[in-house]
Structure 1
Amino acid sequence: MGDILTIVMPVFLVVAAGYAAVWAKLFSDAAVDGLMAFAQKFAIPCLLFAAISTLDLGRDFDLGLMLSYYSGSIICFFAGLFGARLIFGRPWEDSVAIGFCALFANSVLLGLAVGERAYGIDSLGPNYAIIALHAPVCYILGIVTMEIVRAQTGGVALIRTVTRAIFRNALMIGIGLGFAVNLSGIAVPAILDEAVALIMRAALPAALFGLGGVLYRYKPEGDAGVIAMICGISLVLHPTIAWSLGKTMGGLSQEELRAAVVTAAMAPGVNTYIFADMYGAARRVVASSILIGTGLTVITGSAWILLVG
């Protein structure tokens, strides 16, 4: 419990600093919007590009591992989407953003850190295999679904709309370029690599600080039921599916099972707010779910670590 707390608390402190800065009127709403635009359109795409371009995609890439984790992710996405729509009567666009929040676990900021503390740095191979596909799978599913519910036409026009939305998205551009460099073996010039590194170092702090300012703006008024649903799906349903499939399919090593379950047990990541902000949908619900879910991870994450050994 103490180890997980030392990982989670710095995240809270950065978010709290952003909240306090806006509350004290030291940081304006316009500055928050600018900071989130920087994180969404520049810093995080650089982070995704750098991470994917340097990954060993063949290392620890196991079909059973992918199925146990991503089957749960996809089920949780639709559970959140239809739960928000059918139970809470949210608009379709809000429902997709809420489903995306249930889909996208914090696999990097929390997942890697908790995995390293719990099992050691040498155990992280399967975690990196999950992360290699995490953003592409989640963003493609989220963007395609959002564009479908927003589209006024079908057929070729819908395909064109979805394709344009994907390839104009800065995050997907960063992911695509990362895979292109990785698979082609092209060496990134040292000067460009250092420039990307400078930008990417600001990605998570900027996004977390900006999120604090966003939380001050979007208080969880009347959203308790939806937030509870998201936290239940993210912290309980997803790791339960990963654990069940990992145990019943067979073939997974203990290291792979731990990676799938512990990663699935993490709270929604900062990218879920970026997605909601990108479409202007359910921002208050998503921002609050990240904050509350991250706090609850101290308890639920410890329980899952105890379960998988």
Structure 2
Amino acid sequence: MSPLVETVAFVFGLVAFGYASGWGGLLKDDVGDALSAFAVSVAVPLLLFRTMASADFAHGAPWALWITYFTAVGVAWIAGQFTITRVFGRDERAGVVAGLSTSFSNLVLLGIPFMLGIFGQQGFETLSLIISIHLPIMMGLSILLFALLGRNSGGGLFGVVREFLTSLLSNPLIIGIIAGLLWRASGLEMPALGTRFVDALANVAGTVALFAMGLGLRKFGISGDVRPAMTIAALKLFLMPAVALAMAKLIGLPFASAQIAVAAASLPSGVNPYLIASRFGTGQGLASNSMTIATLAAVLTTAFWLSVVGWAYQ
């Protein structure tokens, strides 16, 4: 078995183990919620803090990387929203949910351990550059669209800005990124005891995140809206990474960065589109089904896209 296939199998195997633990009754669904909360609120923020505090970002803002990835986000969003509203005849709010489901990769619970497993610390540092602006951009778009299309959109522009800033500045992942950058700028050396605390929690982030994700998939399952969900999952797994690869070649993105951008684009969506769907009161089945279907298929498609990137850069 090749190292790539073995690592992909290991990453998604942890997700499957989490799912099996819930399916077999070993653990209850609320355990998955608790593990996800721990991963997102404690372990992953500390991992991001450690990375931002120690990584070498000497080349400045990675505009080519961001352009590559977010062009793929935009094309996938438009394709998903157009497909659901024009082909399947759903309303605008369901179209927004579809757009999010087609373009919002699971960069945290799945992406971080995946990149660490495949590409090591350097690959994770590149992914962190995407995450650092992915969270604010996608959060801002979601809040704005909910304000425009949601049923409780009072407060006007001021309310939208306030909700965005409150959500942004209270997000543990954003706090971890900002704290790491501030520590880096201060030039201070981390005390040995502090390093041990950070490492102890940050080092379990990937394993806990993947296991918790599997338990979460057990809770969501698949029911209703299967045909449009399969369409959205296919767009997420094939259109978005294809656009990322085309842009990487077009603007001359280096191979190492292109691998990260395409791999990130090829990941399935996470729970965020479902949360937005719940706020809209529509598209919950579409979001949860497409997430589950895409995650099940991604064990094959992510390996496929990594192979395609290698072939394209020969």
Is the shorter-chain TM-score for this pair beyond 0.5, marking a shared fold? yes
TM normalised by structure 2 equals 0.79
Distance 1:188 1:207 in 2: 26
- The Cα of 1:180 is off from its aligned counterpart by 1.7
Aligned residues of 1:105 and 1:234 also touching (Cα < 8 A): no
Q: Deviations over 1:250-293 (max 9, x none)?
A: 5x4455555544x3554237xx3367569856345324422322
Task: Give me the TM-score of the superposition, normalised by structure 1.
Answer: 0.80
In structure 1, distance between residues paired with 2:21 and 2:37: 18
* Secondary structure of 1:197 counterpart: helix
Asked if 1:188 corresponds to 2:193, the answer is: no
Aligned partner of 1:38 in structure 2 is: 38
Aligned letter for 1:301?
Answer: L
Paired residues of 2:46 and 2:198 also in contact (CA < 8 A) = yes
**Partner of 2:128 in structure 1?**
132
- 2:175 aligned partner, one-letter code: I
Q: State whether residues 22 and 29 of structure 2, in contact with CA within 8 Å, keep that contact through their aligned partners in structure 1.
A: yes
Residue 109 (structure 1) aligned with residue 113 (structure 2): yes
Distance verdict in 2 for CA 1:284–1:185, change over 3 Å: farther
1:6-25 aligned within 5 A: 6-25=6-25
Cα distance in 2 for residues equivalent to 1:29 and 1:306: 41
2:222 is aligned to: 220
Q: Could you tell me how far apart the structure 1 residues matched to 2:5 and 2:166 are? A: 42
Letter aligned with residue 246 of structure 1:
A
Asked whether the equivalents of residues 276 and 283 of structure 1 are also in contact (C-alpha less than 8 Å), the reply is yes
Matched length: 297
User: Which runs of 5 or more residues in structure 2 are unaligned?
Assistant: 148-152, 279-283
Q: Which amino acid aligns with 1:139?
A: L
- Kept after mapping to 2: 8 A contact 1:55/1:132: no
Counterpart of 2:290 (choices 285, 291, 303) is 285
What CA distance in whole angstroms lies between the structure 2 residues aligned with 1:86 and 1:253? 37
Q: Does 1:92 align with 2:105?
A: no
- Where in structure 2 are the equivalents of 1:1-309 lying within 5 Å? 2-59=2-59, 62-81=62-81, 83-84=83-84, 87-88=87-88, 89=90, 92=93, 95-96=96-97, 99=100, 102-104=103-105, 106=107, 107-111=111-115, 113-114=117-118, 116=119, 127=123, 130-151=126-147, 152-153=153-154, 154-250=156-252, 252-261=253-262, 263-264=263-264, 266-268=266-268, 272-273=270-271, 276=274, 282-309=287-314
Q: CA RMSD in A?
A: 3.2
Identity %: 24
SS in 2 for 1:149: helix
Three-state SS of the structure 1 residue aligned to 2:244 is: helix
* 2:150 alignment counterpart: none
Q: Which amino acid aligns with 2:210?
A: L
Instruction: Return the offset for 1:162.
Output: 0.9
